[in-house]
Structure 1
Amino acid sequence: MSLAANTADTAQTAASAVKADVQNQVTQSVSALDQLKEFLLNHGPDVIYAIIIFIIGRYIAKGFKNVAIRMMTHANYDHTVITFVSQMIYYAIMALVILSALNKAGIPTNSFLAAFGAFGLAVGLALQNNLSNFASGLLILIFKPFKAGDWVSIGGVEGSIKGIQMLNTAVITKDNKTVFIPNSIITSNQVINSSYQDERYISFLFDIGYDNDHHKAIAILKDIFQSDKRILNADTMEIGIKEFADNSVRIAAYPKVANADYLPVFYDTMSRVKDAFDAGGIDIPFPQRVVYVREEKKEN
C-alpha cells in the first residue's frame, strides 16, 4: 500500500508541476500579448509612418540612382565607375531613410548618428584629395563645361576629351598621348573649349615687308577668302593692318567657319596665301639684324 501511495503522490506532484508550467506559459503569453497590444496602441501609427517613410525613401533612392546613371552615361563615364558611384549614392540615401524610419518608430538613433559621424570624419580625412576630385567630377557633370569628344585646353594641356571619370578626366593630345587631369584642377582653372560653339573664328596674322603694297596684299587675301565656300563671313570679314612690327607690317584677318572646318581651312589658307604672295611679289619678311663691324686702328 505504501508503494502505491508513493506512486500516486509522485504522479499528482508531476501533474501539478505541469499544470503550473502551463499556467505560467499562458500567463506569459497573455502578458506578451498585452504588451504587444499596448505597444501597437501607443506606437502603431508611428510604426505605420516608419514603414511608409521606408517605402517612399526606397523609391527616391532608386530615382536618384537612375538619374546618376543617366548623367554619367551621357558623360561617357566608365561602366565600373557608373556602377560604383550609383550604388554609393543609393546606399547613402537608404542609410538616411532607415535612420529616419527608425527615429519615427520611436527607436533611439543617436548612437547610430554618432557612429556614422565618426566613420564619415575618418574617411573624409583619409580621402580628402580624392573626395575633392569626386565632388569636382559631379560639378563637371552638372554644369557640363565640356563633353566627350570636345577639343579643350586645360592648364597647358590641349586635346580631345576621352572621358570624365570619377576622380579625373582623360584627355587625348594631338600626338595621341592620354593625359589624366584631376577633376579638382579642372574646376579651379581656366578651361578653353574650342568645340562649345558651332562656329569659330580663325585668327590669322600675315607679315609683309615695309616695301610691299599693303593694299595689294589685302586684296589678295580677300580674293583667297571669298573663293573659299567654307568661309561664312567672306563679304563682311574683319581684315586690315593690325600693327607695324620691327621687321614687317602685320595684317590681321578673322574668317568665320564651321567648327569642323577650322583646321582644314586654316591649313589650306596658309598654303594658298604663300603661293599667292610669291606670285604677286609680296615678301614675307624674316627677322633681320644689321651688324656694324668697326676696325680698330693699330698703334705704331
Structure 2
Amino acid sequence: MTELGTALSAMLFDDANVLLHFRDWFFSQAGNILIALIIFFVGRYLIHWIQHIAERLMTRAQYDAAAMSFVSQIIYYVLLVGLILICVSQLGVPTTSFVAAFGAFGLGIGLALQNNLSNLASGLLILLFKPFRAGHYISVGDVEGSVQSIQFMNTVITTKDQKRVYIPNSQLTSNPVTNFTYMKERIILFIFDIGYDNNHHEAIQVLKDVFAAEKRVLNSKNMEIGIREFGDNSVRIGAFARVKTGHYWDVYYAIMSNVKDAFDEHNIDIPYPQRVVHVQHVKAASVEPDMALHSETNNLKS
C-alpha cells in the first residue's frame, strides 16, 4: 500500500503535465459540467416524481404492497441508469462503450442466472396481472393452501396443516393455477347416496328442507337438485348450493351434518358398498371318483 501511495503521489504532483491536462479539460468543459449537474439534479427530481405517479396509479389499481415496492424500485433504477448515461454523454464521453459493457455484463449475468431471472420475471408478471394475491386460497399441482407472500423468486403458500411451501414463480406462470378466493360467490357440489329401496322423491324434499333452513345458502329456493346417477349400490342425488366464498367450508360442514340428522329422522338409508357373492355347490357324485383315485394312490405308495 505504501508503494502504491508513493506512485500515485509521484504521478499527480511530480508530473505537472497531468495536472495541466486536467486543468485544461476542466476549464474547457466547465459549461458542460455545469449542464450535466443541472441535468442530474433535475433528472433525479423527475425520477422521484415519476416514481410517485406510478405508486399512485398502482394504489388506485389496488396492487399489493410488494408489487408496488418492486415496480417502484425497478422504475427508479432504470431511469437512474439512463440519467447517468445522459450526463456522461453531456461531458463528451462516448457512451457507446458503456452501453456495450452493460450489454455484455447483462448477457453474462443472464446466462448464469437464467432460472432465477425466469422466476424474477414471473414474479413481476404475477404482481402486475394479479392472478392471485396474498391471502387468496389457491391450488397448483399437488399443493393447496393460502398465499402467504409473493416474493421475487418464490411464492410462499401455507397449507391447511400449517406447512410452508415455496413454489418458484416460473411454475405458477407455466402451470394451471386454481384460485378459490377470486370470485365473491362459489358453488358447492353435494352428492348424497340413498338406497334403492328409499323413496327418492321424499329424499329430495328432505334435502330441500335442509338447504332452506340454512340461511347462508343463497339459492335455496331455485337450487338445482335431482338424481345425478344410478350407482352400483345407491341412487346418487346431486345438489348445487351457491354460497359466499368466505362461508364455503362452514356451510359445507353444516349441511353434511344436518343432512345426516334429517336422513336418520326420516329413515332414509345411506348404503354401504355391497358385493353379492354366489357360492356354487359341487355335487358329491362328481367328487367320489377323485376321492377313490386318491385312495388308490395312497395304497400303492404304502
The reply to whether residue 298 of structure 1 matches residue 292 of structure 2 is: no
Q: How many angstroms apart in 2 are the aligned matches of 1:169 and 1:234?
A: 38
Give the unaligned 5+ runs of structure 1: 1-27
Q: 1:88 to 1:227 in 2, by over 3 A?
A: closer
Q: Which residue identity does 2:252 align to in structure 1? A: F
Per the TM alignment, residue 103 of structure 1 is displaced from its structure 2 partner at its CA by 3.1
Q: How many angstroms apart in 2 are the aligned matches of 1:178 and 1:286?
A: 38
Give the unaligned 5+ runs of structure 2: 1-19, 290-302
The reply to whether residue 222 of structure 1 matches residue 208 of structure 2 is: yes
Q: Which residue identity does 1:268 align to in structure 2? A: A
Instruction: Give yes or no for contact 1:209–1:282 (8 Å, CA) kept in 2.
Output: yes
For residue 254 of structure 1, the aligned residue among 235, 240, 261 is: 240
Q: Which residue identity does 2:85 align to in structure 1? A: L
Aligned-pair identity (%) = 53
Instruction: Give yes or no for contact 2:149–2:157 (8 Å, CA) kept in 1.
Output: yes
Q: How many angstroms apart in 2 are the aligned matches of 1:291 and 1:61?
A: 81
Deviation digits for residues 74-117 of structure 1, max 9, x if unmatched? 53549xx958x855653333112221333355421111111111
Per the TM alignment, residue 70 of structure 1 is displaced from its structure 2 partner at its CA by 9.5
For residue 159 of structure 2, the aligned residue among 173, 186, 211 is: 173
Q: How many angstroms apart in 2 are the aligned matches of 1:56 and 1:207?
A: 74
Match of 1:202, SS state, is: strand
When the two structures are superposed, what TM-score results if normalisation uses the length of structure 1?
0.76
Q: Which has the larger displacement, 213-222 or 203-212?
A: 203-212
Q: 1:52 to 1:292 in 2, by over 3 A?
A: farther
For residue 149 of structure 2, the aligned residue among 147, 163, 175 is: 163
Match of 1:142, SS state, is: helix
Q: How many angstroms apart in 2 are the aligned matches of 1:71 and 1:172?
A: 26
Q: How many angstroms apart in 2 are the aligned matches of 1:209 and 1:232?
A: 29
Match of 1:255, SS state, is: strand
Instruction: Give yes or no for contact 1:152–1:161 (8 Å, CA) kept in 2.
Output: yes
Instruction: Give yes or no for contact 1:238–1:253 (8 Å, CA) kept in 2.
Output: yes
Structure-1 residue corresponding to 2:131: 145
For residue 201 of structure 1, the aligned residue among 182, 187, 199 is: 187
Q: How many angstroms apart in 2 are the aligned matches of 1:272 and 1:294?
A: 44
Q: How many angstroms apart in 1 are the aligned matches of 2:207 and 2:165?
A: 39
Deviation digits for residues 210-248 of structure 1, max 9, x if unmatched? 221110010000000111111111101111111112221
Structure-1 residue corresponding to 2:64: 75
When the two structures are superposed, what TM-score results if normalisation uses the length of structure 2?
0.76
Structure-1 residue corresponding to 2:293: none
For residue 270 of structure 1, the aligned residue among 256, 259, 267 is: 256
RMSD: 3.2
Q: 1:258 to 1:280 in 2, by over 3 A?
A: same
Structure-2 residue corresponding to 1:11: none
For residue 284 of structure 1, the aligned residue among 270, 276, 289 is: 270
Q: How many angstroms apart in 2 are the aligned matches of 1:242 and 1:157?
A: 30
